[in-house]
């Protein structure tokens, strides 16, 4: 995939004295769905709004192929956008909402009505086309908003936490639907969310943001398995932090010597990062590392929560069949089923 359809370079934005976005760069390939993920206040929404043209950057450039969008106002950018909620025009019917962008582009009436029905059909709401937004459920409203954003065939689709106001069940359905539509229409999409499950499940690539910077952008797999730094490791997925002792390129933890992935850390006591699925447990009477506090049954897998002698909590993800024996109070020995780990001075 050539990654130069949307090119954002060196965007910075301050609100008063608060730096919202700091030298943010991003390239998105045609047809790709890229998600910006991060805690609230990390600048992901600002980045999206700058791309949409709803805010003006202090510095930096935005290109779509060879077109310079940097100074183009929002209404000439030809981007579709779905907001968190409340963004349907209450005075227009569902069909009129969807046709709004086409009306602004002076598409004639019959053509835009036809297109509106086509899109409403795509999101499964053509039967509601004559209704008004307040007569729809939250999930339906967001579907309409999606149809509206896609109606004028935008070059980029921007999604600003479109699912965050919805119930869990509706959220996961709509999430899959967004992905299905995006793939079938081939619309290049920039998606913003604070929900990592959402981000990981539907994206081609996920960019994790922190304090106005893009920390790492990779496929969901790489992000999870090869986090570039401790922030990513902690932010994406569940991560155990246990103390170990580092000497040179190896670290000793739970009696094993593991390779250190990141080498900038000084020797001595360090924090070692281990995913729960790499923590294996074994019942023991004598040389126990920890005691089981509780076991959460999650279906095919279970999460066993243990407490080390120094008080640290360690999570282990085991298949449910294997973990039945780890009842609360059982003393266990811990084995790390991984060769290379991230460490930090902590």
Partner 1 sequence: MALQTSKRFSTWIGGFLLVVPSIAAVTVFVYGMIVWTIKISMTDRISASVKEPKFVGFQNYTNLLSDTRFTHAFENLVKFTFVFIVGTTIAGFIMALLLEKGIKGEGFFRSFYLYPLAISFIAMGTVWNWLLNSNVDADAGGLNLLLQKVGLGFLQNSWYLSENGAAYALALPAIWQMAGYVLALFLAGFRGIPDDLREAARVDGASEAKIYRYVLFPQLTPTLFTVLIILGHVSMKVFDLIIGINGKSYVTQVVAVYMWESTFDQRNYAKGTAIAVVLLLLIALIIIPYLRWVIKQENENR
Partner 2 sequence: MTAELLEKKPNPIANKRKRSGKEQFWLIFRYTSLTFIWFLIVMPIYVLVVNSLKGVKDVYLVNAFDLPKSLDFSAWPISWSGGDYFSAFSLGESMTRTLFFVVQSSLISAIIGSINGYVFAKWKFPGSNIVFTLFLFGMFIPYQAVMIPLVQLVTNMGVNKSIYVLVMAHVIYGIPICTLIFRNYYASIPDELIEAGLVDKASRIRIYRSIILPLSLPAFVVVLIWQFTSAWNDFLFAIFLTGGSPKLSVATTTLNFITGSSNQVFYGLNMTASLIVSLPTLVVYIFLGRYFLRGLLSGSLKG
Residues at the interface with partner 2 (CB under 8 A): 54-56, 58, 74
C-beta separation of 242 from 342 below 8 A:
no
Residue 80, binding choice from partner 1, partner 2, none, Cβ under 5 to 8 Å by partner class: partner 1
Tokens of 9: 């370079």
Residue of 5, 24, 152, 326 that binds partner 1 (CB under 8 A) = 152
C-beta separation of 247 from 256 below 8 A:
no
Residue 55, binding choice from partner 1, partner 2, none, Cβ under 5 to 8 Å by partner class: partner 2
Cβ-based nearer residue to partner 1, 81 or 200: 81
Residue 91, binding choice from partner 2, partner 1, none, Cβ under 5 to 8 Å by partner class: partner 1
DSSP-assigned letters across all residues of 286-299: SS-SEEEEEEEE-S
Confirm or reject binding of residue 53 to partner 1 (CB under 8 A). Answer: yes
Residue 175, binding choice from partner 2, partner 1, none, Cβ under 5 to 8 Å by partner class: none
Tokens of 219: 């496929």
| Tokens 């390939």 belong to residue | 29
> Virtual CA dihedral for 83, 89, 92, 94, nearest 10 degrees?
20
3-state secondary structure of 206: strand
Confirm or reject binding of residue 276 to partner 1 (CB under 8 A). Answer: no
Cβ-based nearer residue to partner 1, 154 or 220: 154
C-beta separation of 90 from 138 below 8 A:
no
Residue 75, binding choice from partner 1, partner 2, none, Cβ under 5 to 8 Å by partner class: partner 1
Q: How far is the CB of 164 from partner 2 (least distance, A)?
A: 19
Confirm or reject binding of residue 86 to partner 1 (CB under 8 A). Answer: yes
Q: How far is the CB of 54 from partner 1 (least distance, A)?
A: 5
Q: How far is the CB of 217 from partner 1 (least distance, A)?
A: 24
Confirm or reject binding of residue 191 to partner 1 (CB under 8 A). Answer: no
Beta carbons within 8 Å of 27's beta carbon, 6+ residues apart: 3, 4, 5, 6, 7, 8
Q: How far is the CB of 62 from partner 1 (least distance, A)?
A: 14
C-beta separation of 217 from 209 below 8 A:
no
Q: How far is the CB of 105 from partner 2 (least distance, A)?
A: 20
Confirm or reject binding of residue 162 to partner 1 (CB under 8 A). Answer: no
Residue of 7, 143, 148, 275 that binds partner 1 (CB under 8 A) = 148
180 φ, ψ to 5°?
-60, -50
Residue 24: beta bridge partners?
11
Beta carbons within 8 Å of 55's beta carbon, 6+ residues apart: 13, 46, 49
Confirm or reject binding of residue 104 to partner 1 (CB under 8 A). Answer: yes
3-state secondary structure of 9: strand
Footprint of partner 1 (CB under 8 A): 52-54, 73-81, 83-92, 100-101, 103-105, 145, 148-149, 152, 158
């Amino acid at each position: 995939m050539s990654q130069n359809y949307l090119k954002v370079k060196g965007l910075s934005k301050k609100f008063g004295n608060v730096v919202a976005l700091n030298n943010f760069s991003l390239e998105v390939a045609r047809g790709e769905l890229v998600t910006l993920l991060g805690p609230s206040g990390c600048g992901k929404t600002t980045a999206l709004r700058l791309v949409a043209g709803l805010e003006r950057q202090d510095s930096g450039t935005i290109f779509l192929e060879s077109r310079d969008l940097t100074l183009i106002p929002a209404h000439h950018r030809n981007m579709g956008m779905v907001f968190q909620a409340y963004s349907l025009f209450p005075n227009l019917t569902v069909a009129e909402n969807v046709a709004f962008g086409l009306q602004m582009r002076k598409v004639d009436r019959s053509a835009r009505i036809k297109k509106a029905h086509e899109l409403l059909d795509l999101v499964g709401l053509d039967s509601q086309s004559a209704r008004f937004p307040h007569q729809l459920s939250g999930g339906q409203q967001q579907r309409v908003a999606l149809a509206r954003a896609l109606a004028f065939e935008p070059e980029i689709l921007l999604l600003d936490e479109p699912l965050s106001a919805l119930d869990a069940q509706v959220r996961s359905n709509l999430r899959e639907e967004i992905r299905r539509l995006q793939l079938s229409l081939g619309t290049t999409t920039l998606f913003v969310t604070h929900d990592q499950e959402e981000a990981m499940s539907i994206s081609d690539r996920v960019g994790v943001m922190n304090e106005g910077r893009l920390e790492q952008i990779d496929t969901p797999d790489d992000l999870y398995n090869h986090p570039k730094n401790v922030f990513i490791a902690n932010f994406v997925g569940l991560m155990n932090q246990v103390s170990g002792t580092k000497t040179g390129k190896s670290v000793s933890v739970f009696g094993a010597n593991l390779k250190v992935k990141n080498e900038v850390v000084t020797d001595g006591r360090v924090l070692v990062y281990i995913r729960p699925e790499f923590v294996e447990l074994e019942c023991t009477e004598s040389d126990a590392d920890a005691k089981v506090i509780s076991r959460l049954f999650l279906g095919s897998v279970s999460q066993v929560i243990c407490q080390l002698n120094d008080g640290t909590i360690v999570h282990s993800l085991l298949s449910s069949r294997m973990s039945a024996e780890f009842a609360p109070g059982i003393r266990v020995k811990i084995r790390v089923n991984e060769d290379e780990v991230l460490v930090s001075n902590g």
